[in-house]
């Protein structure tokens, strides 16, 4: 069973639908025991970093996520779910992230002719043999919606990057932790292939 963590941060239905299309058993839940007994766990999310961290802390789900990581259950953060894994975000000064991975979330710089949020399809540069990207071609297009981006401290955990006004770390992997800034569930066949790679780990 794949547990999708429900913490009032949106975007859950499309993730659930994509996994069901792959024939997976899925449960959307905030229940500690269900999450910790799942085969895999997904933290989706759209919205504000500060609100999301407040929701996770109030519900105790921040500690549950740490337990998932400790138990080495494969874990996938999507969009805001990627950002929350890191230490801090310019979107919410003074609010600590989960700090499970090292790095910070920065605002995408304003550049003439580029709209923020970065919304739409962009190509991926693949690096360091990410397990999520097995069978995915270099420059494959995926779907992004974000105004803030990751700058990971440890470059070797970065498995895909993209360019939009700046160099964006688009996907990371460390041990049992995987995360994507883009939305695989909205990225057509490429995205489904990425999710399939995750469920087959």
Are 36 and 195 in contact, with CB atoms under 8 Å apart? no
91 catalytically annotated: no
79 catalytically annotated: yes
Q: What are 86-92's contacts with CB under 8 Å, separation 24+?
A: 86/150, 86/152, 89/49, 89/50, 89/148, 90/148, 91/48, 91/49, 91/50, 91/147, 91/148, 92/48, 92/49, 92/50, 92/53
Active-site position among 118, 146, 169, 183: 183
Distances (CA, A) of 143 to 64, 68, 92: 29, 27, 24
180 catalytically annotated: no
For residue 183, give every residue at least 6 positions away whose Cβ sits within 8 Å of its Cβ, in sequence order, or none.
11, 14, 78, 79, 142, 143, 144, 145, 191
Active-site position among 146, 173, 185, 193: 185
Active-site position among 79, 91, 118, 146: 79
Q: Catalytic positions, please?
A: 79, 183, 185
């Amino acid at each position: 069973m794949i547990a999708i963590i429900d913490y009032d941060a949106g975007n859950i239905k499309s993730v659930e639908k994509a996994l069901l299309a792959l024939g997976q058993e899925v449960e959307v839940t905030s229940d500690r025991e269900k999450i910790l007994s799942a085969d895999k766990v997904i933290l989706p999310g759209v919205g504000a970093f500060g609100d999301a961290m407040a929701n996770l802390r109030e519900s105790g789900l921040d500690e549950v996520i740490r337990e998932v990581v400790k138990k080495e259950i494969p874990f996938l953060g999507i969009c805001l779910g990627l950002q929350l894994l890191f230490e801090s975000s310019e979107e919410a000064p003074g609010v600590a992230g989960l700090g499970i991975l090292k790095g910070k979330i920065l605002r995408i710089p304003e550049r003439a002719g580029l709209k923020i949020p970065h919304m739409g399809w962009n190509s991926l540069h693949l690096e360091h043999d990410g397990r999520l990207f097995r069978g995915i071609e270099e420059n494959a297009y995926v779907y992004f919606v974000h105004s803030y981006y990751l700058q990971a401290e440890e470059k070797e955990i970065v498995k895909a990057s993209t360019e939009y006004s700046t160099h964006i770390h688009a996907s990371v992997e460390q041990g049992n932790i995987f995360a994507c800034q883009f939305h695989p569930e909205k990225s057509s066949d490429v995205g489904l292939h990425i999710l399939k790679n995750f469920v087959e780990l």
